[in-house]
Amino acid sequence: QKGIYRRNTFYDRIVFNKIRDKFGGNVVRIATGSAPISNEVMIFSKAVFGCPIPEGYGQTEATCSITMTHPFDPSLGHVGAPVACYMVKLVDVINI
């Protein structure tokens, strides 16, 4: 939760190594897309893999990501700010 990534704790050697080995053992960065992952799953995933997991949101029409969190942002529950090359317009859909 503090944004500290390690792979040398007791849990890493005993428990998390088995999970990492299922993914090849050399995961350096993972990204997620669509909607924010639940806080519990994100905390567990960051602890298991010991690496940043940026979250993003995108659509096919935008040819991939529209928003993305900074890889080392420790806050949870959001998909980040708009990517620099896009303009995002928020529209009130209730009054349309």
Q: 3-class secondary structure for the chain? A: CCCCCCCCCHHHHHHHHHHHHHCCCCCCCCCECCCCCCHHHHHHHHHHHCCCCCEEEEEHHHCEEEEECCCCCCCCCCCCEECCCCCCCCCCCCCC
pTM given for the model: 0.70
- 8 A C-beta contact, residue 36 and residue 79: yes
pLDDT of residue 43: 86
User: What mean pLDDT is predicted for residues 77-92?
Assistant: 83
User: What mean pLDDT is predicted for residues 70-86?
Assistant: 84
- 8 A C-beta contact, residue 39 and residue 47: no
Per-residue pLDDT tens digits for 6-65 = 777 777 778 888 888 888 888 888 888 877 888 899 888 888 888 888 888 877 666 677
- Which residues neighbour 34 within 8 Å (Cβ) at sequence distance 6 or greater? 57
pLDDT of residue 26: 83
